[in-house]
Structure 1
Amino acid sequence: MYRHHALWAIITALSIPASASVVPRQAPACDAPPASYAAVTEPGLPDPWKFVSGKAVATAEDFACRQAEMSRIMQQFELGDLPPPPDSLTATLSGTSMSLVIKVGSNSKTISVSITKPSSPGTSGGPAMIGVGGANIPVPSGMGRINFGNDACAAQQNPNSHGSGWFFDLHGKSHSAGATLAWAWCVGRIIDGLEQLGAAKTGIDPKRLGVTGCSRNGKGAFMVGAFEKRIALTIPQESGSGGAASWRVSDSEYAKGKNIQRAAQIVRENAWFSPRFVTYVNKTDTIPEDHHFLAALVAPRGLFVIENDIDWLGPVSTTVAMKAGRMIYEALGVKANMGFSLVGGHSHCSFPSASSADLTSYINRFLGGSATATNDVEKSKATVVIDDWIKSWSAAPKGINLAA
């Protein structure tokens, strides 16, 4: 059967970046998870280095298990449940159109995906960028492209959109997943199709896939990278609250008079998050997670986060959360695998030319097969005191080096 063990929905393996791909490690044996996780009282960013049980993260295997726990917690409190892969999937290719026949239980959907093949794929295929609703970054000419129609997968017109789209046709209208997590599942099916067809037909190497999107679709791109482990490089652009920003810090900025998107507003705007999240949007300090956990879930794979200095997007909030994310990468021995760039001074979703060299370094490293290290990028126009938000963190583990 095509359906994997339930652990797939948690985490199947810890992966390390190689010169041109992501190499899987054997999945660790983790302690059995509890049935659910309790709310907390935590004004700062929750500790990535300590399990809910109180156990400290000390080894690479521990971190993989902590990633699994972070994934479950985020699903429980704000995202909804990530289903396992479907019971069956059959892929065919006609010209530049890939057709997927997907079956979950008694439900079946046929999906078409537009593919632009790399210009020089070679025998093993070339890299490709998946655009969540399109791409606003300058994708290198000659690179393959896959246009993911995320609205068709899970609609995002308004809060009442929940339950609309082919994800819900397969899993049921009342499924708990918000649109952004549903998109991650749907992208996984595209990757299934690429793997099934093979590089000789598609021209695409499924081990060299990037994902990007801007604004609302940037939130989705971050979710795709965090929950779909076959993505080699994640590039969320101006994702703001619900993406690169911290719920807690956004609430703090709002209390200071900033015009910033926060949890209590976002659930009234659209169906990006699970209906479960409504319970917590006015008390985000009670959820045992925040969005630095998204960076932790992408680690140690490539992650380049592009933000802006527009108040609504939360420049202080994104800077705090992504500084915390880079601290996690650094403790894992792969600091340069994650970059954060907030140069500002440009319109929303307009890619800043000042970030071109940094973006190119990440694309070359994780998609282009270059052995050259990425630029060590941490740029922000926002001034923050990160220690104010990580006071409760345990000491980072010593001796973990996922680059080894």
Structure 2
Amino acid sequence: MRFHRHRPRLLALAALVAVAGLFTAALPAQAGAAETVRPFADEEDTGADCPVPDPGSTPASSLLPDPFTRIDGTRVSTREDWRCRRAEIREQAERSVYGQKPAPPAGVTGTVSRTGITVNVTDQGRSSSFSASVSLPSGSGPFPAVVVLGGMGADTATINAAGAAVINFDPYAVGREGTPRNNKSGAFYSIYGSNSGTGLLMAWSWGVSRIIDVIEQSDGSILRANATGVTGCSRFGKGAFVAGAFDERIALTMPIESGTAGVPIFRGVAQESGAQPLSSAYSEQPWLGDAFGSFTGSPANLPVDTHQIVGMIAPRGLFIMENPHVDWLGSQSGAVGALGGAEVYRALGAGSNISYWSDVQDGNHCAVRPEWRAPLQQSIQAFLRGSGSGPGVIRVSPREPADLSRWRNWQTPVLTSGGEDPGGEDPGEPTGACTATHRTVSSWSGGFQGEVAVRNTGTGPLNGWTVDMTLAAGQSISNLWNGERTGTGGTVRVRNNAWNGTIPADGTVTFGFVATGGTAPPGGITCSSP
């Protein structure tokens, strides 16, 4: 039985493109810049028509669920498959984590001015309303816009300076904190009932979606309907994360220091010393859906985890910012969530559209940080103004390193588009031939992020691989994922994990790392196989 079987489809689907296999549109380029294409959708939920089978009981697992395996046990193989696989993840997340996000309301009206937005919603014979203020950048517009939840999010001065408007949205207008679960209040609950099992995070997400509805209905002279971002910090970072995951019209999602119930994986939070326990996050406020209460002591029973919620945002723009100086925020689990979700981006061919940054010096909660300014500007230019590409940077703090390999036993597929050969495993004999090539993903004063691609150059499957590489004097690896490392400096050896050791003929797997002590790339890279 499909949870949302009656959810209507609001708008026509946007054009398919091969780079992501999902929906995209061209944005007007800035003066002097080439026109670029970025992923976005014309619909709040492009998978509304996908049939989702009843998953029944889910076997408990301490490892992260495979985002690429459907409920029926088969794996997705094409980019087009991802739309309906995403619908499965969405529904499981609603059932077990957040509560239901209702179908788009029967009626949404409102106004957009240079100083504010009004929203009026009618559904199921009930109505409610709320508003938000608008701060425009210099210029005549129309402008892209970033919805800032609760006045706490990415630096608004940087957002305005990058040419985007700021929409200040008070989430408490649609879902108030300090209320019991059986008597929730706000514009959302005025329509869907004070005893609704939907948590505040999803109610806030609903509010962001209704703001976008009103922008779409406006004449477009002030704000552009196809260029909306969302951001928030702390509890509002949780809300921004959920809003971006559950509305595909949002082109750029920027959660900051979201903590438990945000980006950090639930399975990891339960094991990370100092992180806010699941039971605490559930009881502190009704952020999570009522159904999550049965999982606070047993996250291994959850059918989903937050790496899949990160994957729901793919291939749209995503910039996750975290603070490793406050244990309560669980940034180590957050890094695992980001790295796991980044595998979905990579499978869709959109790896540069996700960025993660926890390597910051200032430990104050929700501070404006200089380390984030440049990637924030670049993200706005790429995903809201249609100029250039996303930062595509993963900067994991050495204070809270993350190792995705210990949390998964699944391999990331190379998703093809349309009729392309999916490159299944060749049944022939292993040849043992491979090559390894390095690329610098990003660099900064005193370090860099690298990625090594291991390619099977033989005619049969490669069963196991080993890469040797030599770092420059004074360099060391502080963090490595998708491989097993021996050594941190000098000659470093990296072997495959159990889940990524088999590479089909002409196939490729990658591992990534962060090195400190200089920006010189590693030399003497060799690959071998048994």
Could you tell me how far 1:113 is from its partner in structure 2?
2.4
Separation of aligned partners in 2, 1:308 and 1:59:
36
Question: Structure 1 91/277 Cα, relative in aligned 2: closer, same or farther at 3 Å?
Answer: same
Partner residue, 2:320: 305
SS at match of 2:253: strand
Root-mean-square deviation (Å): 2.5
Deviation at 1:109, TM superposition (A): 1.6
Q: What is the Cα deviation at residue 345 of structure 1?
A: 3.0
Greater mean alpha carbon deviation, residues 334-343 or residues 24-33 = 24-33
Residue from 213, 217, 221 that aligns with 2:232: 213
- Does 2:328 align with 1:320? no
Q: CA deviation at 1:67?
A: 0.4
What amino acid sits opposite 1:69 in the alignment? Answer: E
The verdict on how the C-alpha distance between 1:158 and 1:170 changes in structure 2, with shifts beyond 3 A counting, is: closer
Whether the aligned pair in 1 keeps the contact of 2:320 and 2:356 (CA below 8 Å) is yes
1:3-402 alignment, distance < 5 Å: 6=7, 14-16=22-24, 18=26, 19=36, 22-24=39-41, 32-35=51-54, 37-93=56-112, 96-122=115-141, 125-138=142-155, 139-141=159-161, 142-157=163-178, 159-160=180-181, 163-200=184-221, 203-253=222-272, 258-309=273-324, 310-346=326-362, 347-370=364-387, 372-381=388-397, 382-391=400-409, 393-400=410-417
- Alignment-mate amino acid for residue 149 of structure 1: D
Distance 1:330 1:95 in 2: 39
The 8 Å contact of residues 137 and 160 in structure 2, kept in 1 or not, is answered as no
Residue 161 of structure 1 and its aligned partner are, at CA, apart by: 8.0
Tell me which moved more, 65-74 or 12-21.
12-21
- Report how far residue 369 of structure 1 moved: 2.1
Distance across 1 between alignment mates of 2:195 and 2:211: 23
Classify the secondary structure of the residue corresponding to 1:131.
strand
Q: Distance in 2 between matches of 1:137 and 1:29?
A: 31
**Higher strand fraction (1 or 2):** 2
- The 2-side partners of 1:290 and 1:28 are apart by 19
Stretches of structure 2 that go unaligned for 5 or more consecutive residues are 15-21, 27-35, 419-530
Shift of 1:153: 0.6
Structure 1 residues 28 and 78: CA distance shift in structure 2, 3 A? closer
Deviations 1:106-136 (A, max 9, x none): 21123222223343244xx211110011243
Post-superposition CA distance 1:76-122 (Å, at most 9, x none): 00111110111112223466233222111221123222223343244
Q: 1:17 to 1:242 in 2, by over 3 A?
A: farther
Contact 2:152 2:366 in 1 (8 A): no
Name the SS of the counterpart of 2:254 in structure 1: strand
User: Does the 8 Å contact 1:246/1:291 carry over to 2?
Assistant: yes
Deviations 1:282-308 (A, max 9, x none): 000001100011211100000000001
- Asked if the contact 1:183–1:224 (Cα under 8 Å) also holds between the matched residues in 2, the reply is yes
d(CA) in 2 for partners of 1:15 and 1:162?
A: 39
Shift of 1:204: 0.5
C-alpha distance in 2 between matches for 1:176 and 1:335: 35
Give 1:179 shift. 0.4
In structure 2, do the counterparts of structure 1 residues 198 and 40 end up closer, same or farther at CA, with 3 Å as the change threshold? Answer: farther
Moved more, 82-91 or 232-241: 82-91
Identity of aligned residues (%): 32
The Cα offsets for residues 148-184 of structure 1, whole Å up to 9 and x where unpaired, read as 1101111122654862111000111122210001111
CA separation of 1:98/1:386 partners in 2, compared to 1, >3 Å: closer, same or farther? Answer: closer
Take 2:265 and 2:290, find their aligned partners in 1: how far apart are those partners?
19
Cα 1:24–1:269 shift into 2, 3 Å: closer
Secondary structure of the residue that 1:60 maps to in structure 2?
A: coil
Q: Deviations over 1:359-392 (max 9, x none)?
A: 211111011221x22222101112222111011x
Residue identity in the other structure for 1:324? G
Gaps of 5+ in 1: none
Q: 1:7 to 1:250 in 2, by over 3 A?
A: farther
Which moves more between the two structures, 17-26 or 188-197?
17-26
Equivalent position SS for 1:61: coil
Deviating beyond 4 angstroms after TM superposition, the runs of 4 or more aligned structure 1 residues are 25-31, 158-162
Q: Distance in 2 between matches of 1:219 and 1:333?
A: 26
CA distance in 2, matches of 1:130, 1:74: 23
CA 162–356 in structure 1, closer or farther in 2 if over 3 Å, else same? farther
Say which is worse superposed, 75-84 or 95-104, in terms of deviation.
95-104
Helix, strand or coil for the counterpart of 2:134? strand
Aligned-partner Cα distance in 1 for 2:153–2:402: 28
> Following the alignment from structure 2 to structure 1, what is the Cα–Cα distance between the partners of residues 148 and 343?
28
Q: Which amino acid aligns with 1:318?
A: G
Distance, in Å, in 2 between the alignment partners of 1:25 and 1:209 is 12
One-letter amino acid of the counterpart of residue 375, structure 2: D
CA contact (8 A) 1:17 1:300 kept: no
- The answer as to whether partners of 1:80 and 1:276 remain within 8 angstroms in 2 is yes
Task: Please identify which structure carries the higher helix content.
Answer: 1
The aligned amino acid for 1:140 is N
Q: Which amino acid aligns with 1:184?
A: S
1:4: Cα distance to partner? 11
CA drift of 1:61 comes to: 2.0
Shift of 1:23: 4.7
Q: Partners of 2:37 and 2:76 in 1: how far apart?
A: 29
What TM-score, normalized by structure 1, do the two folds share? 0.89
Give the TM-score taking structure 2 as reference length. 0.69
| SS across alignment from 1:317 | helix
Is residue 25–residue 38 contact of structure 2 (8 Å, CA) maintained in 1?
yes
Structure having the higher Rg: 2
**What amino acid maps onto 1:364 in structure 2?**
Q
Taking the aligned partners of 2:65 and 2:114, their CA distance within structure 1 comes to 48
